[in-house]
């Protein structure tokens, strides 16, 4: 059985005060309303990590993620943050390869392979994002496109390393657009991804890996998406900025 996971990606939103309020609301709601096994992950901006880490404390079910990390250990990389720095403030997960990082900061599959290595070597867990742009979906090339992303960034990992990875399928045309992939489109791609994992590492390992869906997940569509056999939770952007909405999405995973 794969434990469902719901992650909130705050992106570049909230002041530290707003972040503190949002995180404490989520921590309290999870404490009061979640009695089943669902993992909740909060990914605030770097500047809020320390404070959110303290707010989470030893709360059951909730852990902390960063939205990005450098592939380098330390040194002259102005503006970058290392795995060691994240660990020191209580981070457990790192979102890697979000489409916004790929598009605006030109992160390539090859660079992401290095970031994966750094994260895994440092003992953190990656949430690795993949997903196709609209023009690829229109040409019905999405399976090949996502397959290439997996091959070029993940396929060098050992079985043991791969066990630590969570994959997030986020079709770019559904991110922040209010346009969600249908439950069937999500299931179809998630099954395809799992098949690729099985081809590379075997069916047993493929069955263990969690594959999240991301792209306009909302309280009213979460339950049906998460009910699909290969959808193991969600990576939530906009709706994770409202504690009530985020909590209702989490409940969709129960």
Q: Which residues are catalytic?
A: 98, 170
Q: Are 32 and 243 in contact (CB under 8 A)?
A: no
Q: Please pick, from the candidates 39, 70, 216, 221, the single residue that binds ligand PGA as defined by CB under 6 A.
A: 216
Q: Is 241 in the site for ligand PGA (CB under 6 A)?
A: no
Query: Does the footprint of ligand PGA cover residue 238 (CB under 6 A)?
Result: yes
Whichever of 23 and 217 has its CB closer to ligand PGA, that residue is 217
Which listed residue (26, 136, 225, 235) binds ligand PGA by CB under 6 A?
235
What DSSP string describes 72-106? Answer: SSSSS-TT---HHHHHHTT--EEEE--HHHHHHS-
Between CA 192 and CA 95, with CA 239 as vertex, the angle to 5 degrees is 55
- CA 124-126-128 angle, to 5 degrees, is 170
Name the residue nearer to ligand PGA (CB basis): 214 or 233: 214
Q: Which is nearer to ligand PGA, 63 or 216 (CB)?
A: 216
Return the residues of window 8-37 that contact ligand PGA according to CB under 6 A: 9
Among residues 29, 34, 55, 175, which is the contact residue for ligand PGA, using CB under 6 A?
A: 175
Shortest gap between Cβ of 87 and ligand PGA (angstroms)? 23
Query: Does the footprint of ligand PGA cover residue 214 (CB under 6 A)?
Result: yes
Nearest distance in Å: CB 247, ligand PGA: 15
Query: Is 118 one of the binding residues for ligand PGA (CB under 6 A)?
Result: no
Identity of the residue, 97 or 215, whose beta carbon is nearer to ligand PGA in the bound complex: 215
Binder of ligand PGA out of 237, 245, 247, 252 (CB under 6 A): 237
Residues 6+ apart with CB under 8 A from 75: none
Residue 67 binding ligand PGA, by CB under 6 A:
no
Q: Which of 84, 123, 176, 199 binds ligand PGA (CB under 6 A)?
A: 176
Residue whose CB is less far from ligand PGA, 86 or 235:
235
Q: Is 215 one of the binding residues for ligand PGA (CB under 6 A)? A: yes
Q: What is each CA distance from 103 to 123, 132, 172, 238, in whole angstroms?
A: 27, 12, 10, 19
Among residues 2, 1, 5, which one has the least CA distance to residue 217?
5
Residue 253 Cα distances to 73, 102, 193, angstroms: 36, 28, 20
Output b/e per residue, 145-179; b: 16+ Cβ within 10 A.
ebbebbeebbeebeeebbebbbbbbbbbbbbeeee
Q: 14 and 242 in contact (C-beta within 8 Å)?
A: no
97 binds ligand PGA (CB under 6 A): no
């Amino acid at each position: 059985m794969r434990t469902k996971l719901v992650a909130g990606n705050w992106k570049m939103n909230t002041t530290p005060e707003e972040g503190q309020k949002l995180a404490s609301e989520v921590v309290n709601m999870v404490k009061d309303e979640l009695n089943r096994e669902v993992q909740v992950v909060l990914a605030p901006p770097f500047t809020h990590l320390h404070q959110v880490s303290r707010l989470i404390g030893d709360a059951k079910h909730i852990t902390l993620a960063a939205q990005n990390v450098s592939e380098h250990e330390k040194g002259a990389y102005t503006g970058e943050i290392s795995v060691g720095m994240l660990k020191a403030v209580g981070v457990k997960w790192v979102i890697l390869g979000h489409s916004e990082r790929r598009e605006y900061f030109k992160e390539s599959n090859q660079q992401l392979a290095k970031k994966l290595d750094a994260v895994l070597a440092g003992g953190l867990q990656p949430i690795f994002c993949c997903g196709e742009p609209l023009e690829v979906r229109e040409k019905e090339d999405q399976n090949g496109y996502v397959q290439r992303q997996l091959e070029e960034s993940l396929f060098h990992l050992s079985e043991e390393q791969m066990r630590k990875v969570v994959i997030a399928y986020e079709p770019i045309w559904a991110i922040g657009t209010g346009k969600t992939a249908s439950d069937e489109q999500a299931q179809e791609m998630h099954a395809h991804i799992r098949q690729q994992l099985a081809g590379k590492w075997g069916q047993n390992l493929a069955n263990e890996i969690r594959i999240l869906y991301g792209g306009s997940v909302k309280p009213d569509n979460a339950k049906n998406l998460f009910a699909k056999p290969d959808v193991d939770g969600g990576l939530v952007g906009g709706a994770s900025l409202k504690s009530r909405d985020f909590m209702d999405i989490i409940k969709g995973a129960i």
